[in-house]
Every structure is written in structure tokens, then in C-alpha cells.
Amino acid sequence: MAQLIDGKAISAAVRKRIAEEIQSLQEEQGITPGLAVILVGEDSASEVYVKNKGKACEEVGIDFELYRLSASATQQELEETIGSLNDREDIDGILLQLPLPSHLDANQFVGLIRPDKDVDAFHPENIGHIMRGDFVFLPCTPAGIMELLRASGIDPAGQRCVVIGRSDIVGKPTAMQLLHADATVTICHSKTQNLAEVCREADILVSAVGQAGLITGDMVRPGAVVIDVGMNRNEEGKLCGDVDFASVEPVASYITPVPGGVGPMTVAMLLQNTLEAAKRHSGITG
């Protein structure tokens, strides 16, 4: 049976380290990181995510500010909100909660956030640094995946990695990080032929497509590491991932559960990015 990669425990360890570092910064240099989140509209899932981010910030000592705009907010209103936060010295990180209402172009507004405050790492400049490998921030979910592997003693170097999903938020940056870690990486997507055959070649298999039960035990090489990024609801309404856990667990060597795997790491890495931004704004690097 596969060993569970406990995202809750690893996330708790990351948060503890962040809280201790923030306390030291406050005591020794009077530095308190600040994060601003912009929420446009009343998407129920976004409300939950933002609430969790605010609670996590409070726990580690990050000042948290929430800016709410109505679902009918204009382009000018959102531009002005982002511009004012860009100018504030006490705000180290800015996060634009997605999705936005359909009349607003997310890519346009993400590009207005100062790259040094872009703690989601979605700005084109930060994406370029991720491609080159000289990045400061990583998107939070890919960063969480890499931390799960590191904390579990799993080294991607020399391994064959298969990433299912090519989104700008998870699939592509995860593939780039595995490549920077000296893995050989294949990206699969909706047009990939013989998906099961490709998956069986993987030493490390990452699924991030949002399709419940996509990955079954016969698609996994014995002893492979399986990272499940999917967040879905099955026919009974129960939260589940992309991986059919029951059939894959006996085959894999390591596996992330859903919930309790990758999910808790996403917020933890947002806190890490905000801390890193605050340190750099204060002239502290490394």
C-alpha cells in the first residue's frame, strides 16, 4: 500500500516556520508582512477561499486586508484599487481572487499588479522568471507540490515525470519546476493519445485536470509517486480528486489524499510568498 503524503502535517510545519520567522522580523526589525486580497463579486467558493486565507494570515502574523468590489465593478474601479495597493508601502503582496465576473479580463488585471507584489506569480514578468529558473515567486499550488515532494524525501532528479493538465496556474508551472529539478517531463492534455500508456511510464505522476476518477490503478506504474491536484465532487457530492484512490493506493509508493494532500499547501505557500516579498521590500534577501 502507498504511503500517504500528509499535506496537512507538512503545511502545518511550513506555517510554523513562517510564524517563527515573522515573529523574529517583528521583534528585531519591526517588519510585519502585509497581504491585500481583492474579491470581485460574490462567488461562493471564492468567499470560502478568501476566508481561509485571512485566517491563515492571522495565525502566522501577516496583516490581512480584504477589498470587496461588486459583481458589476467597472474596469476603472478595479484598476484604481490595484493601483492604490501598488503604491502602499505597508502592502507586500496583492492577490486578485479568481475567477472574475465575465466582463473583466483576468489576464489584463493580473498584469497590472506590481511583479514584486504578485504573490500568485501570475504576472507575465514572473512567468518569464519561472521559465528561466531565476524566480522569486512560484504559483502557490506548484510550489506546494514541490514542497510535498521535498518534505517526503522524493527527489525528481533523473525521474520520468508526467503532468496531466496544461493550465497556466498549475500544469505548466509544475512541469517547469520538475524540469528545473532535473526530471524528464511529459505534459499530457485533452488531445494526448494513449494517455494510460504515457502515465504508466511515470515515476512521478501529477494529475491536475479536475476530472473525478480519471487516473485508475491500471494507469500507474508499480511504485510510482502519485500527486492528485484535482478538487471534484463525485455523484454522491463527496469531495474527491482526479485519482481513483481505491485502485491506485495499492499500486503507488506514495500518494496524496483528497482532501488533505495538495490543498492545504496552496495557502501555506501563499504565506511563504508574502513573507518573501516583505523581506525583499525591506532589503533582506536569501
Q: What percent of the chain has pLDDT over 90?
A: 95
Q: Is the peptide bond before 115 cis (omega within 30 degrees of 0)?
A: no
* pLDDT tens digits along 36-89: 999 999 988 899 999 999 999 999 999 999 999 999 999 999 999 999 999 999
Query: 92, 120, 242, 244: which one is catalytic?
Result: 120
Cell output for 216: 485508475
Single pTM value for the model = 0.95
Looking at residue 286, its pLDDT comes to: 63
Active-site residue flag, 177: no
What pLDDT is recorded for position 234? 84
Question: Any catalytic annotation for residue 23?
Answer: no
Give residue-wise pLDDT tens across range 235-259: 888 899 999 999 999 999 999 999 9
**What is the reported pLDDT for 63?**
98
51 is catalytic: no
State the chain's mean pLDDT as an integer.
96
- Determine the average pLDDT of the residues in 247-273: 97
Of these residues, 53, 117, 172, 279, which one is catalytic?
A: 53
Average pLDDT over residues 146-162: 98
DSSP state of 116: G
Terminal alpha carbon distance of the chain: 39
Amino acid 237: pLDDT: 84
DSSP for 222-268, written as a single string:
TT-EEEE---EE-TTS-EE-SB-HHHHTTT-SEE--SSSSSHHHHHH
